Amino acid sequence: CPSRACVTHTKYDLNKSSGGVQVAKNGKPLAEAPEVKKESTVKFGTGKIHGQFYQDRICLGIDSACMTANFIGTDAETDSPFEQCNFDGIMGLGFKDLSMGDGFNMVDDMVAQHSLTSNRFSVYLTDKGGSEITFGGYKRDKAATEP
């Protein structure tokens, strides 16, 4: 990936994983589904990324909230807006119908695999910095009201 945006971000490396595999859009290993689509381009805001489909064990913390998940490992991304972004990936938290397909929704994966202590997540947003997302519950000190 020759773009300036790619050079500044850490990318998924299948060779550094002990259990990762490249998969088709249906979530099956490529050897089992060679005719199924294995890559995609996704628009994000004013830019877009292109990448291959993978499956690997993902943990949201150090050995916590772990799941087997399907995702896109990018091999190309536009400079705008990604060169200005200080994150290396995007985790979709939307509805299943907005996902790439079956098996490409991390919220569903967390629920199905019992990865969280409670099947909820909460978001705390502030303009002053320090916004947070909490998986498996919420932080009382960040809540405006009790749930």
Across the 147 residues of the chain, what is the mean pLDDT of every consecutive 10-residue run?
85 93 91 89 89 93 89 90 84 80 85 91 90 89 81
pLDDT at 147: 67
**CA torsion angle 14 16 20 21 (round to 10):** 30
Selection from 62, 59, 83, 58 nearest residue 73 by Cα: 58
* Domain-wise residue ranges, the chain: 4-115, 117-147
Q: Please report, for residues 9, 49, 78, 82, 116, the alpha-carbon distance to residue 46 in angstroms, rounded to integers and kept in the order given.
A: 18, 11, 9, 9, 33
pLDDT at 143: 86
Range 4-115 has CATH code 3.90.180.10? no
Instruction: List, in order, residues 6 or more apart from 117 with CB less than 8 Å away.
Output: 136, 137
Taken as a whole, the chain contains a residue count of 147
Please tell me the pTM assigned to this model: 0.84
pLDDT at 19: 93
